Amino acid sequence: PSFFAAIPPAPADGILKLSVLSKADANPSKVDLGVGAYRTDDGQPWVLPVVQEAERRLASEPSANHEYLAVGGLPALTSGAQKLIFGADSPALAEGRVYTIQTISGTGANMVGAVFLKQFKPQRDAAIYISRPTWGNHRSLFQTAGHEVREYRYCNYESLDLDIDGMLADLRAAPPSQVVVLHACAHNPTGIDPTEAQWEAIADVMAERGHLPFFDCAYQGFATGDVDRDAFAIRLFAARGFELLVAESFAKNMGLYGERTGCLHVVVANAEQLPAVSSQLNRVSRATISTASAYGAKIAGTVLQDPALYREWLDNMQTMSARIKAMRAALRSRLEALHTPGDWSHVTSQIGMFSFTGLSTTQVAALRDQYHLYMTDDGRISVAGLNSHNVDYVARAIDAVVR
Ligand code: PMP
């Protein structure tokens, strides 16, 4: 008899399954629109020039070593990340009401927050509310940390824009003092973000109901090319006096995917609460990862602390977001030129890495089986997978399956 005999296999992860299928497909027309990682116009991964420069500097430091970081992480990273998220002139920072701990990228930031909240949530039976739909890992992550997970409406699947009325109604109908996960910008998988006025309305309901905002910020600067614009929602909530959490990832905006570089920020109402909160976060992190990864943190810390490198980084993000916006425009204009049935304006109104195309599961399967075009079953494409060499082909394939 085995201890493990009764364990059923875990449900397949859609994205990982897709990437296996796509890798196995040797057809030269193949287009991989599954993977959530930036690609150049030649379909290659991009090491940001500013990251290359930071790596050169790190390599030439005579005292370079592989020692452990402190439990809180690398101060060059955590202090730079705070200013990036909240703004250098943030009152919460000036008042000493923010603690930042380095994490294993955005996933680890979500997880440290999840484990912390399991013990210290606003009230004992509070649930975690996630958007429908959301990043595929949110539900699993919060459930793994022991939370009950519920959904609030987010996407209007007919018009492919924000179901703001449904969202506000669900947040209003929830019991008081729940935890609400909000995508700070470039919502994954839909690419649909609230407008500034809609964020105000969301903040009104959150305040009315006493909910705790937990921002997931995986695309700051990558969405619009402007780090301040992409932090609008977080800064609005902070300015309105909310206590909140922010899970921040440097995977996309610095291209540090596999280096696992990120931070969790917690804003508390009074600076006196910070020693207790920070020590508990350190304890959770120590128990789960002991200390975070050093190499990506040194790169990001170098970029964030050096004014010239920081400016170069803003340029590099512009390059990525501009190429993605250009590909959105190219796809839309080709579909419109082909008179492909349907309204394709959402391709350019959506933002960030992903576009929710509205294609059905059957159409997605046909694109995969007949055209070697890979996207998730929900019709989400990673716009970063489009380039000047394949966008015509992609538009013609979509046109063919939609007719
Ligand atoms: N949250 C969201 C919404 C994401 O899209 C991602 C990246 N796919 C993450 C968190 C975490 O990514 P990472 O752990 O690579 O930073």
pLDDT digits (tens, 9 = 90+) for 108-142: 999 999 999 999 987 878 999 999 999 999 999 99
Q: How distant, in Å, are the alpha carbons of 47, 102, 183, 298, 351 from that of 107?
A: 21, 12, 13, 19, 21
Q: Is the CB of 249 under 6 A from ligand 1?
A: yes
274-288 and 105-120 are packed helices; what angle lies between their axes, rounded to 10 degrees? 120
Is residue 34 within 8 A of residue 376, CB to CB? The reply is yes
Residue 191 corresponds to which tokens in the numbers above? 């690419």
Instruction: Examine the predicted complex and report whether its ipTM is higher than 0.95.
Output: yes
Strands (E), 158-260: 161-162, 179-183, 212-217, 244-249
Is residue 393 within 8 A of residue 31, CB to CB? The reply is yes
Is residue 242 within 8 A of residue 207, CB to CB? The reply is yes
Angle at the Cα of 72 (from 284 to 257), degrees rounded to 5? 90
Separation CA 298–CA 312 (nearest Å) = 17
Q: Find the 184 Cα to ligand 1 centroid distance in Å.
A: 12
pLDDT of residue 69: 97
pLDDT of residue 35: 82
Q: Which of 251, 257, 252, 260 is nearest to 102 (CA)?
A: 260
Q: Find the 100 Cα to ligand 1 centroid distance in Å.
A: 18
pLDDT of residue 122: 75
pLDDT of residue 12: 82
The one-letter amino acid code at 174 reads: A
Q: Is the CB of 90 under 6 A from ligand 1?
A: no
Q: Find the 301 Cα to ligand 1 centroid distance in Å.
A: 20
Q: Find the 222 Cα to ligand 1 centroid distance in Å.
A: 13
Closest residue by Cα to atom 10, ligand 1, is 106
pLDDT of residue 271: 98
Length of the chain: 403
Neighbouring CB atoms inside 10 A of 110's CB total 27
Neighbouring CB atoms inside 10 A of 4's CB total 6
Report the catalytic residues. Answer: 135, 216, 252
- Interstrand relation of 244-249 and 261-267 (parallel, antiparallel or unpaired): antiparallel
The contacts of residue 293 (CB under 8 Å, 6+ apart) are 69, 104, 259, 260, 261
pLDDT of residue 16: 81
Residue 5 corresponds to which tokens in the numbers above? 């005999």
Atom of ligand 1 nearest to the CA of 104: 14
Q: Is the CB of 218 under 6 A from ligand 1?
A: yes
pLDDT of residue 177: 96
Q: Is the CB of 340 under 6 A from ligand 1?
A: no
Closest residue by Cα to atom 7, ligand 1, is 218
Is residue 154 within 8 A of residue 134, CB to CB? The reply is yes
Residue 127 is given by DSSP the state: P
Among 131, 134, 137, the mutation site with the greatest number of ligand 1 atoms within 8 A of its Cβ is 137
Q: Which of 351, 353, 352, 357 is nearest to 395 (CA)?
A: 357
Separation CA 380–CA 189 (nearest Å) = 6
Q: Is the peptide bond before 28 cis (omega within 30 degrees of 0)?
A: no
Strand partners of residue 263: 102, 248
pLDDT digits (tens, 9 = 90+) for 210-252: 999 999 999 999 999 999 999 999 999 999 999 999 999 999 9
Neighbouring CB atoms inside 10 A of 388's CB total 12
- DSSP string spanning 6-74? TPPPPPP-HHHHHHHHHHH---TT-EE----S---TTS-----HHHHHHHHHHHH-TT---PPPPTT--
pLDDT of residue 290: 97
Q: Find the 135 Cα to ligand 1 centroid distance in Å.
A: 8
Taking the alpha carbons at both ends of the chain, their separation in whole angstroms is 56
Q: Is the CB of 262 under 6 A from ligand 1?
A: yes
Atom of ligand 1 nearest to the CA of 135: 3
Q: Is the CB of 134 under 6 A from ligand 1?
A: no
Closest residue by Cα to atom 1, ligand 1, is 218
Q: What are phi and psi of 102, to 5 degrees?
A: -75, 145
Residues of the chain with pLDDT under 50: none
Atom of ligand 1 nearest to the CA of 134: 3
pLDDT of residue 111: 98
